[in-house]
Structure 1
Amino acid sequence: MKKYKQLLEERAGLYNEQQGIVSTAKTEKRELNETEATRFDDLQSQMDAMDPGIKRAKIIWENELREADNTPPLDSGIPPAVHTDKEERNNYSLAGAIRSVMDGEKLSGLEAEVRQEFEAEYREAGLDVPKGNIIGLPASMMEKRDQSVTGDSGLKGGKLVVNDAPRLVAPLFPNNPLAELGLTHLTGLTGNVPLLSHTDVSFVWALENEKVDVKTDADFDGPILKPKRVVAVVDISEQLILQSSVGVESMIIGMLNNAYGRVLASAVINGSGGRSPLGILNIPGVNDAKMGTGSMPSFEKIVELETLIEASNATDASLGYVTNKVLKGKLKTTPKVAGSDSIMLSDGKELNGSKLITTNLVPELSGMHPLIYGDWAQIFTGSWGGLSIKVDPFTQSTSGKIRLVVTAYADVQVVHPEAFAFNKKFTTASL
C-alpha cells in the first residue's frame, strides 16, 4: 500500500507536467493544441482518480500517529494535520496569535498547527527555524487562490498543497505594483534555484548526406535565485491589536502585503546589489539610451527604447513601460508632434501602444526621471518559506505599542537583461 507522502509526490508530478503544458501555450500566446489538450485532460483524470486514495491514505497516516500517541514530525515533509471544517479553517487570526504571544501564552489549536507548518517549510527550504516569540505564516497561506493542487494556473510557480490548508481572513501575498506586467513569482522554494537562459540556435541548409560541422554552443546557465533576508520593523498600537474585528485583521494583513510587495518591486527597479538583488537600472547588459544631457521627453526618445530592444533581438512576450508619477504627468501633457493635439499618454494607461505602470519606487536621479521599457516576463521573484513575525511587547511598551519584526527570504533575478531598455535623463522642466 502506497503511503500518504508517496501519493502526494506522485500527484505533484502529474500536476507539474500539466502546468508545463499550460505554461508553454501561454508563453507562445496560443490555445492548447489537440495533443496538448488530450494530455492535459488525461493528467487531470489521473489526479482526480488519485484523490480518494490520497484522502484515505491521509486518514490512515493520522490514525497511526494517534495510536502511537504522537504528532506529525516537523521534518516529515508532510504538512501537519489541520482542522477540516471550512468555517474553522477560515478563522485563523493573525491578531489573535499576536495577542497570545504578547500575553506569554503558548499558541494552541489552529494557530499552533500553522506555526508547525511554517517550521516544516523553513526546514525544507534549508533555513534556520527562528526561536523566541515567533508567529510563523507558511507559504501556503500566502497565495491568492484556493488551497488545492488545481488552484494554481502555474504563473506563480505554486507547489502542491493540501486541500485543507488553513487560510487567513484575507490572503497574505505581496502586493507588487509591477505584477500586472507579467512578472513571475515563485513560492515554496528550496535552496538555490537556477533559471534557464539560452543563446540562439542556428540552422543551416545541407544536402541529404552532407556532413555538417557548423554548431551552436547553447548556454543554459541562467541567473540563480538565492534566498536573501529582508526585514521590516513595525510598531502597532497595542489598543489596535486588542481589537478582534475582521477590519483590523485585514488592515494588518494589508500593511504586510503592501510592504512586502514594495520591497520586491523596488529591488526589481533599482536594487543596488550586495545585500539586495540587482535591479534593472543597475544590472549590466540592459540597453541604455545614453542621452548625454537631460531633456524633455519626446516621442522619438520613447520609440528609441523600443528600437534598442528590437536591435538586441530580445523577446516581446510582455512588453510595458514603468516610470514614476512625475514623468507620467509630463507625458499626459506632451504631444507626439509639437503643436498638435496628439498627446503621448492621452488615457494615462498606454504609452506607444504598451501598458504603462507608474510607481514612485522609480527614483528621481539628480532631478532626472527614468523611463524603463521591456519584456517583464523576464523577471522572476522568489520566496523561501513564509513570513516570520517576532512579537516584541517591551521595546515600545511605554508608548503603548507592540513591535513586530517581520522577516522573509526572497530574491529577484532578470533572466535576459537585453530584454530591457531605459532612459535615465528625462526632465519635466526646462533646464
Structure 2
Amino acid sequence: MKNSIALKEERAEVLAKLEEIKDLATSESRDLTDDENVNVDAFLSSIDKIDTKIERAEKVEESLKRAATLSSAIGNNEVKEERKMTSSFKLSKALNQYVDGKLDGVEAEMHQEAKRNNPGFTGLALPTSVLAEKRANPQLVSNADELIATEVFDWMGTLQARLVMGDLATFISGLSSNVQLPVLSGTTAGWGTEVADATKAATDVGGSTLVPHKLGSYMDISKMLMAQTSGNIEAIIREDMNNAIAAALENAILSDSDGSGASPLGVFDQAGQSIAGGTMTLAKILEMESDIATNNAEGTCYITSPLGRSLLKALVGNPGITGSETGYGQPLWRDDNTMNGYFARATSNISDVCTAGGAATSGGDESGIVFGQWRDLVVGQFGSALDVVVDPYSQSISGEIRIVINSFWDTAFRRANSFCRGSLK
C-alpha cells in the first residue's frame, strides 16, 4: 500500500497530463479532439480513484500515529512503575522475609517476576537492578517533552566500576542463550588491471561462543546487622554483594583457566603473546608493546599485582636507555598510574606465584603482568536476575546468615594476539 505522499505525487503527475492537453488546445484555439476527450475522461476517473486512496491512506496513517503515541505512553508508564518498584525494594527486608518463608509486598512481586523470567532459580530471585547504584536521569522521553527526575538502576555499570578493567573491556548483559562472537581474519587485497580478477579474500570467520558459567560468591552477614532498618545498612549490604561478585569475576578473568572446567577463559591462558620472566626491564616492556602492535592491535592498559607495581616503581634509571634502566630518570610506573604512556593498574587478583613468563598462575614465584587491547575481552552476563540462596543455619553458631549469590557469566577473547602476558620478580 502506497503512503499518502506517494499517492499525492501520482495524482500530481496525472494532473500535469491534463494540463498539457488543455494548454495544447488553448494554444491552437480549438476544442478537444475525440482522442483527447477520451484521455481527459480517463485521467479524471484516475484522479477520483487516487483521491479515494489518499483519503484511505491518510486515515490509516493517522490511526497508526495515534497507536504509536498510545504505545509510547504505555511504555513510559511501565518504565516509571518498574523504577518506582525498584526504589521501594528493600534488600534487607527481602532477605529476612525469605528466611521466614513469608515474602510480601514489592519484594514478593519482584521475586516472582524474576523467577518467571529466569526459570530454574532455586533461591530468592533478585533482579539485578536492585543491586545497582542509583544515578540521576532527568530525561524520561527521547523528545524531552516530559522531563522527570528519575533514577536509573544500571547494575552492570555498578559492577564494572569495581573491576580493574571495567571501563576497558566490552560488557554484554541480559543474555538468554549462547552467543557466538564472529571474528574475521585473513582478509587480503591486491592491485590489478581494470579487467583482472580481484585478489581472493581468503577470509575466515572464527570466534568464540559465550556459554553460561555459574559464578557462586558468598558473604556472611550478622543477624544483628540484618535487623537494622537504616538506609545506610541497606547500602552496605548491596555494596558487599556487588564486591563479592566483582572480586570472583575479576579473579576468573585474570587467571590461566582454559575454560574447560567451571571457570570461564582467563587472560593468562588466552594471551597470544608473551615475554620472558625474571627481572623486568624497559626492553621487556617495549617488547610487550611491539608484540601487540605487530598484530595490528593497540594496547590500552597494563595490569599487574600490587607487588608487581612496587617492583616497577623501583625500576628507575638515569637518562639514556639501557637494558635494565628506564632511560627516563624516573620510575617506570609513574605517580599518575601510567607506564610508558599507557594506563597501568594493580589488583590482588593477579597472581604473585606465576611461573616464568606467566605460563601458569601457580607453582612459581613471579608476579604476573598483562598488556592488552582490552576491548577485545568480552564479558557476558546471562539472565536478568541473581539466584540468591539464604542460608540461616551453617553459620548460626556465630550469629550470622550466609548469603550465596549465583550469577552466570562467560568471557571471550576475540583476538588472542591483542594480549601479551609476562611475569616479573
TM-score scaled to structure 2, two decimals? 0.70
Q: What is aligned with 1:93? A: 90
CA distance in 1 between partners of 2:408 and 2:125 (Å): 13
Change (3 A) 1:145 1:198: farther
Q: Report deviation, 1:176.
A: 3.8
Determine if contact 1:229/1:408 at 8 Å carries over to the other structure.
yes
Determine if contact 1:174/1:257 at 8 Å carries over to the other structure.
no
Q: What is aligned with 1:393? A: 392
Change (3 A) 1:324 1:198: same
- Establish whether residue 352 from structure 1 lines up as the match of residue 352 from structure 2: no
For residues 247-258 of structure 1, the aligned pairs below 5 Å read 247-258=232-243
CA distance in 2 between partners of 1:309 and 1:51 (Å): 51
Determine if contact 1:174/1:259 at 8 Å carries over to the other structure.
no
- Establish whether residue 327 from structure 1 lines up as the match of residue 308 from structure 2: yes
Q: What is aligned with 1:280? A: 267
Deviations 1:338-365 (Å, cap 9, x if unpaired)? 4973321232510010000100111012
Determine if contact 1:322/1:357 at 8 Å carries over to the other structure.
yes
Q: What is aligned with 1:114? A: 110
Q: What is aligned with 1:136? A: 125
Deviations 1:12-70 (Å, cap 9, x if unpaired)? xxxxxxxxxxxxxxxxxxxxxxxxxxxxxxxxxx99x95642334798xxxxxxxxxxx
SS state at 2:269 partner: coil
Deviations 1:243-299 (Å, cap 9, x if unpaired)? 11111111111111111111221121114231101211122x5201134xx22x211
SS state at 1:423 partner: strand
Residues 266-275 or 378-387, more deviating: 266-275
CA distance in 1 between partners of 2:415 and 2:222 (Å): 45
CA RMSD of aligned residues (A): 3.4
Residues 365-374 or 174-183, more deviating: 174-183
Change (3 A) 1:237 1:418: same
Q: What is aligned with 1:376? A: 374
Determine if contact 1:121/1:138 at 8 Å carries over to the other structure.
no
- Establish whether residue 218 from structure 1 lines up as the match of residue 210 from structure 2: no
Change (3 A) 1:166 1:112: farther
Percent identity of the aligned residues?
25
CA distance in 1 between partners of 2:100 and 2:127 (Å): 23
For residues 10-409 of structure 1, the aligned pairs below 5 Å read 50=68, 52-56=70-74, 84=81, 89-105=86-102, 107-123=103-119, 128-130=120-122, 134-141=123-130, 173=159, 175-212=161-198, 214-272=199-257, 273=259, 274-283=261-270, 286-291=272-277, 294-295=278-279, 297-311=280-294, 313-316=295-298, 319-337=300-318, 338=325, 341-364=329-352, 365=354, 366-385=364-383, 386-409=385-408
SS state at 1:377 partner: helix
Report the structure, 1 or 2, having the larger strand content: 2
Q: Report deviation, 1:309.
A: 1.0
Change (3 A) 1:413 1:168: closer
Q: Report deviation, 1:165.
A: 9.9
Q: What is aligned with 1:416? A: 415
Q: Residue type of the partner of 1:267?
A: A
SS state at 1:261 partner: helix
Determine if contact 1:195/1:222 at 8 Å carries over to the other structure.
yes
Q: Residue type of the partner of 1:376?
A: W
SS state at 1:281 partner: helix
Q: Report deviation, 1:180.
A: 4.5
Q: Residue type of the partner of 1:410?
A: W
Determine if contact 1:140/1:165 at 8 Å carries over to the other structure.
no
Determine if contact 1:267/1:412 at 8 Å carries over to the other structure.
no
SS state at 1:344 partner: coil
SS state at 1:90 partner: helix
CA distance in 2 between partners of 1:171 and 1:112 (Å): 26
Q: What is aligned with 2:61? A: none
CA distance in 2 between partners of 1:237 and 1:374 (Å): 41
Determine if contact 1:181/1:376 at 8 Å carries over to the other structure.
no
Q: Report deviation, 1:86.
A: 6.2
Residues 187-196 or 200-209, more deviating: 200-209
Deviations 1:379-428 (Å, cap 9, x if unpaired)? 1111112211111222222321112121111111111110011212x11x
CA distance in 1 between partners of 2:232 and 2:415 (Å): 42
Q: Residue type of the partner of 1:418?
A: N
SS state at 2:381 partner: strand
SS state at 1:367 partner: coil
Change (3 A) 1:53 1:323: same
CA distance in 2 between partners of 1:86 and 1:233 (Å): 27
Change (3 A) 1:286 1:400: same
Q: Residue type of the partner of 1:224?
A: T
Q: What is aligned with 2:47? A: none
Deviations 1:308-357 (Å, cap 9, x if unpaired)? 1122x2322x6110001112112222224449733212325100100001
Q: Report deviation, 1:91.
A: 2.4
Change (3 A) 1:310 1:112: same
Q: Report deviation, 1:173.
A: 3.2
TM-score scaled to structure 1, two decimals? 0.69
CA distance in 2 between partners of 1:89 and 1:288 (Å): 46
Q: Residue type of the partner of 2:169?
A: L
CA distance in 2 between partners of 1:329 and 1:57 (Å): 53
CA distance in 2 between partners of 1:250 and 1:335 (Å): 43
Report the structure, 1 or 2, having the larger helix content: 2
Q: Report deviation, 1:141.
A: 4.1
* Structure exhibiting the larger radius of gyration computed from Cα positions: 2
Determine if contact 1:95/1:241 at 8 Å carries over to the other structure.
yes
CA distance in 2 between partners of 1:145 and 1:187 (Å): 18
Q: Residue type of the partner of 2:418?
A: A
CA distance in 2 between partners of 1:209 and 1:322 (Å): 51
Q: Report deviation, 1:220.
A: 2.5
**Structure 2 stretches of 5 or more lacking a match?**
1-63, 141-148, 319-324, 355-363
